[in-house]
Amino acid sequence: MAEIQSIKRALGVLDYLTMREFSDGGASLQEIADHIGVNSPTAHNIVKTMSSCGYVARHKSLGYTLGPRCRDITRGSAFSEKALLSATVVMHTLSEKIGVSLVLATLAGGRRYPLIRVEGHGVVRVSPSFDERQPFFGVVTGRVLAAFATPAELETILDVNGLPGAKWDGIDTREALDAALESIRGEGLAEYHSETASVIAVAVPVLDTQERLLGTLGMYSPGARTTLDRLAVIKDEMKKAAARLCQQA
Protein backbone atom coordinates (compact mmCIF):
# COMPACT_ATOMS: atom_id res chain seq x y z
CA MET A 1 0.00 0.00 0.00
CA ALA A 2 1.38 3.41 -0.99
CA GLU A 3 2.38 5.76 1.81
CA ILE A 4 0.58 9.07 2.19
CA GLN A 5 3.53 11.45 2.36
CA SER A 6 1.70 14.35 4.00
CA ILE A 7 0.63 12.18 6.94
CA LYS A 8 4.09 10.65 7.26
CA ARG A 9 5.65 14.12 7.30
CA ALA A 10 3.16 15.40 9.87
CA LEU A 11 3.95 12.46 12.13
CA GLY A 12 7.63 13.23 11.61
CA VAL A 13 6.99 16.76 12.85
CA LEU A 14 5.29 15.40 15.98
CA ASP A 15 8.16 12.98 16.60
CA TYR A 16 10.72 15.77 16.26
CA LEU A 17 8.85 18.24 18.49
CA THR A 18 8.37 15.52 21.10
CA MET A 19 12.12 14.89 21.08
CA ARG A 20 12.79 18.63 21.43
CA GLU A 21 10.53 18.73 24.51
CA PHE A 22 13.36 17.00 26.38
CA SER A 23 16.05 19.45 25.26
CA ASP A 24 15.45 22.99 24.03
CA GLY A 25 11.67 22.77 24.16
CA GLY A 26 10.99 23.98 20.62
CA ALA A 27 12.25 24.08 17.05
CA SER A 28 12.59 26.56 14.20
CA LEU A 29 10.85 26.07 10.86
CA GLN A 30 14.19 25.32 9.19
CA GLU A 31 15.04 22.68 11.79
CA ILE A 32 11.67 21.03 11.19
CA ALA A 33 12.18 21.15 7.43
CA ASP A 34 15.63 19.58 7.73
CA HIS A 35 14.33 16.83 9.98
CA ILE A 36 11.50 15.72 7.70
CA GLY A 37 13.52 16.30 4.52
CA VAL A 38 11.50 19.02 2.78
CA ASN A 39 12.04 22.65 1.83
CA SER A 40 10.93 25.49 4.10
CA PRO A 41 7.73 26.42 2.17
CA THR A 42 6.54 22.80 2.30
CA ALA A 43 7.37 22.56 6.01
CA HIS A 44 5.52 25.83 6.59
CA ASN A 45 2.36 24.49 4.94
CA ILE A 46 2.51 21.30 7.00
CA VAL A 47 3.10 23.14 10.27
CA LYS A 48 0.40 25.71 9.45
CA THR A 49 -2.18 22.95 8.94
CA MET A 50 -1.11 21.16 12.12
CA SER A 51 -1.28 24.44 14.02
CA SER A 52 -4.82 25.14 12.81
CA CYS A 53 -5.80 21.70 14.15
CA GLY A 54 -4.12 22.33 17.50
CA TYR A 55 -1.27 19.82 17.17
CA VAL A 56 1.50 22.42 16.82
CA ALA A 57 1.85 25.75 18.61
CA ARG A 58 4.04 28.77 17.94
CA HIS A 59 5.90 30.09 20.98
CA LYS A 60 7.47 33.55 20.71
CA SER A 61 10.78 32.47 22.26
CA LEU A 62 10.91 28.69 21.74
CA GLY A 63 9.67 28.52 18.15
CA TYR A 64 7.35 25.65 17.26
CA THR A 65 6.24 23.32 20.05
CA LEU A 66 3.68 20.58 20.59
CA GLY A 67 0.18 22.05 20.56
CA PRO A 68 -2.70 21.77 23.03
CA ARG A 69 -4.27 18.76 21.31
CA CYS A 70 -1.05 16.82 21.96
CA ARG A 71 -1.33 17.77 25.64
CA ASP A 72 -4.92 16.51 25.62
CA ILE A 73 -3.77 13.15 24.24
CA THR A 74 -0.98 12.94 26.82
CA ARG A 75 -3.39 13.62 29.66
CA GLY A 76 -5.83 11.07 28.28
CA SER A 77 -3.16 8.37 28.28
CA ALA A 78 -1.97 9.39 31.76
CA PHE A 79 -5.43 8.75 33.19
CA SER A 80 -5.75 5.15 32.07
CA GLU A 81 -8.39 2.86 33.60
CA LYS A 82 -5.80 1.48 36.03
CA ALA A 83 -4.64 4.98 36.98
CA LEU A 84 -8.22 6.13 37.55
CA LEU A 85 -8.89 3.16 39.84
CA SER A 86 -5.79 4.03 41.87
CA ALA A 87 -6.79 7.70 41.91
CA THR A 88 -10.23 6.75 43.22
CA VAL A 89 -8.61 5.01 46.19
CA VAL A 90 -6.47 8.08 46.91
CA MET A 91 -9.51 10.35 46.75
CA HIS A 92 -11.73 8.14 48.93
CA THR A 93 -8.95 7.98 51.53
CA LEU A 94 -8.59 11.76 51.46
CA SER A 95 -12.35 12.34 51.67
CA GLU A 96 -12.61 10.04 54.69
CA LYS A 97 -9.67 11.78 56.35
CA ILE A 98 -10.77 15.40 55.93
CA GLY A 99 -14.52 14.91 55.41
CA VAL A 100 -15.04 16.89 52.20
CA SER A 101 -16.42 16.31 48.72
CA LEU A 102 -13.79 15.95 46.00
CA VAL A 103 -13.57 16.08 42.22
CA LEU A 104 -10.70 15.22 39.88
CA ALA A 105 -10.94 17.05 36.55
CA THR A 106 -8.77 17.41 33.48
CA LEU A 107 -8.50 19.72 30.47
CA ALA A 108 -9.32 18.84 26.87
CA GLY A 109 -10.16 21.11 23.96
CA GLY A 110 -10.38 24.16 26.21
CA ARG A 111 -13.01 22.53 28.42
CA ARG A 112 -12.97 21.06 31.92
CA TYR A 113 -13.89 17.39 32.18
CA PRO A 114 -14.61 15.79 35.59
CA LEU A 115 -13.09 12.29 35.84
CA ILE A 116 -13.84 11.19 39.42
CA ARG A 117 -16.23 12.49 42.07
CA VAL A 118 -16.23 11.52 45.73
CA GLU A 119 -18.89 12.82 48.09
CA GLY A 120 -18.05 13.72 51.68
CA HIS A 121 -19.83 11.86 54.45
CA GLY A 122 -20.64 14.75 56.75
CA VAL A 123 -24.27 15.32 57.71
CA VAL A 124 -24.04 18.70 56.00
CA ARG A 125 -22.11 18.37 52.78
CA VAL A 126 -21.64 19.84 49.32
CA SER A 127 -22.06 17.46 46.41
CA PRO A 128 -18.97 17.18 44.16
CA SER A 129 -21.33 17.68 41.19
CA PHE A 130 -21.91 21.23 42.52
CA ASP A 131 -19.36 22.63 40.07
CA GLU A 132 -20.91 20.96 37.00
CA ARG A 133 -23.55 23.68 36.89
CA GLN A 134 -20.91 26.40 36.81
CA PRO A 135 -19.03 27.92 33.83
CA PHE A 136 -15.32 27.21 33.33
CA PHE A 137 -14.02 30.25 35.22
CA GLY A 138 -16.83 30.07 37.76
CA VAL A 139 -15.17 27.18 39.60
CA VAL A 140 -11.77 26.84 41.24
CA THR A 141 -10.93 23.72 39.23
CA GLY A 142 -11.34 25.66 35.99
CA ARG A 143 -9.17 28.48 37.29
CA VAL A 144 -6.39 26.07 38.24
CA LEU A 145 -6.53 24.40 34.83
CA ALA A 146 -6.18 27.82 33.18
CA ALA A 147 -3.35 28.85 35.52
CA PHE A 148 -1.22 25.78 34.83
CA ALA A 149 -2.10 25.33 31.14
CA THR A 150 0.48 26.05 28.46
CA PRO A 151 0.16 29.39 26.62
CA ALA A 152 -1.40 27.61 23.63
CA GLU A 153 -3.87 25.77 25.88
CA LEU A 154 -4.83 29.03 27.57
CA GLU A 155 -5.62 30.55 24.19
CA THR A 156 -7.89 27.59 23.45
CA ILE A 157 -9.58 28.01 26.84
CA LEU A 158 -10.28 31.66 26.04
CA ASP A 159 -11.50 30.84 22.53
CA VAL A 160 -14.02 28.39 24.01
CA ASN A 161 -15.02 30.22 27.21
CA GLY A 162 -14.11 33.88 26.76
CA LEU A 163 -12.85 36.11 29.57
CA PRO A 164 -14.34 35.41 33.03
CA GLY A 165 -16.10 38.73 33.60
CA ALA A 166 -18.81 38.36 36.24
CA LYS A 167 -17.96 34.67 36.62
CA TRP A 168 -14.73 35.60 38.44
CA ASP A 169 -14.23 38.92 40.21
CA GLY A 170 -15.22 40.99 37.16
CA ILE A 171 -12.07 40.02 35.27
CA ASP A 172 -12.71 41.40 31.79
CA THR A 173 -9.22 42.12 30.41
CA ARG A 174 -6.36 39.83 29.48
CA GLU A 175 -4.02 41.75 31.76
CA ALA A 176 -6.29 41.20 34.76
CA LEU A 177 -6.68 37.52 33.90
CA ASP A 178 -2.93 37.00 33.56
CA ALA A 179 -2.39 38.63 36.96
CA ALA A 180 -5.04 36.42 38.59
CA LEU A 181 -3.58 33.27 37.05
CA GLU A 182 -0.08 34.26 38.15
CA SER A 183 -1.40 34.65 41.69
CA ILE A 184 -2.80 31.10 41.57
CA ARG A 185 0.54 29.75 40.36
CA GLY A 186 2.29 31.59 43.17
CA GLU A 187 -0.09 30.19 45.81
CA GLY A 188 -0.14 26.74 44.25
CA LEU A 189 -3.93 26.65 44.55
CA ALA A 190 -7.19 28.49 43.88
CA GLU A 191 -9.66 29.28 46.66
CA TYR A 192 -13.27 30.45 46.72
CA HIS A 193 -15.59 31.51 49.55
CA SER A 194 -19.22 32.08 48.57
CA GLU A 195 -20.75 35.45 49.48
CA THR A 196 -22.94 33.80 52.11
CA ALA A 197 -19.99 31.68 53.37
CA SER A 198 -22.10 28.59 52.74
CA VAL A 199 -19.52 26.96 50.47
CA ILE A 200 -15.73 26.96 50.51
CA ALA A 201 -13.88 25.54 47.53
CA VAL A 202 -10.19 24.84 46.98
CA ALA A 203 -8.40 23.34 43.99
CA VAL A 204 -4.78 22.31 43.51
CA PRO A 205 -2.98 21.26 40.31
CA VAL A 206 -2.00 17.69 39.54
CA LEU A 207 1.31 17.94 37.68
CA ASP A 208 3.59 15.31 36.19
CA THR A 209 7.27 14.91 37.06
CA GLN A 210 8.15 17.65 34.55
CA GLU A 211 5.64 20.07 36.11
CA ARG A 212 3.21 19.71 33.20
CA LEU A 213 -0.52 19.84 33.85
CA LEU A 214 -2.36 16.54 34.16
CA GLY A 215 -5.47 17.80 35.92
CA THR A 216 -6.78 19.40 39.07
CA LEU A 217 -8.08 18.14 42.41
CA GLY A 218 -10.92 20.21 43.83
CA MET A 219 -12.75 20.10 47.16
CA TYR A 220 -16.07 21.56 48.30
CA SER A 221 -16.97 21.97 51.96
CA PRO A 222 -19.76 23.69 53.93
CA GLY A 223 -18.45 26.99 55.22
CA ALA A 224 -20.18 26.55 58.58
CA ARG A 225 -17.85 23.74 59.62
CA THR A 226 -14.66 24.88 57.91
CA THR A 227 -12.59 26.96 60.31
CA LEU A 228 -9.35 28.63 59.23
CA ASP A 229 -7.31 25.97 61.04
CA ARG A 230 -9.31 23.20 59.41
CA LEU A 231 -8.95 24.88 56.01
CA ALA A 232 -5.17 25.00 56.40
CA VAL A 233 -5.14 21.25 57.11
CA ILE A 234 -7.38 20.60 54.09
CA LYS A 235 -5.05 22.54 51.78
CA ASP A 236 -2.00 20.67 53.05
CA GLU A 237 -3.68 17.28 52.66
CA MET A 238 -4.89 18.14 49.16
CA LYS A 239 -1.39 19.04 48.00
CA LYS A 240 -0.10 15.74 49.38
CA ALA A 241 -2.91 13.87 47.61
CA ALA A 242 -2.15 15.68 44.33
CA ALA A 243 1.44 14.45 44.57
CA ARG A 244 0.17 10.89 45.08
CA LEU A 245 -2.16 11.24 42.10
CA CYS A 246 0.83 12.21 39.97
CA GLN A 247 2.52 8.95 40.98
CA GLN A 248 -0.61 6.98 39.98
CA ALA A 249 -0.87 8.58 36.51
Task: List, for residues 186-221, the tens digit of each pLDDT value.
Answer: 999 999 987 666 788 999 999 988 888 999 999 988
**131-141 pLDDT, tens per residue?**
566 799 999 99
Domain 5-66 is found in CATH 1.10.10.10 = yes
pLDDT recorded at residue 247: 76
- Highest mean pLDDT: which of 22-26, 56-60, 239-243? 239-243
The answer to pTM > 0.75 is: no
- Which CATH code for domain 73-248? 3.30.450.40
Beta strands in 17-145 (DSSP E): 56-59, 63-66, 101-108, 111-118
**What pLDDT sits at residue 122?**
46
Angle CA 161–117–225, to nearest 5 = 100
pLDDT at 124 over 60: no
Question: Is the model more confident about 120 or about 47?
Answer: 47
Q: Which of 222, 226, 219 is nearest to 124 (CA)?
A: 222
**Mean pLDDT score of the chain:** 85
229: left (phi over 0), alpha (psi -120 to 50) or beta: alpha
More confident call, 127 vs 205? 205
| Confidence bin at 144 (pLDDT 50/70/90) | very high
Q: Is the pLDDT confidence value at 127 over 80?
A: no
Boundaries of every domain in the chain: 5-66, 73-248
Backbone angles phi, psi at 153, to 5 degrees: -65, -35
- Give the C-alpha separation, 246 to 249, whole Å: 5
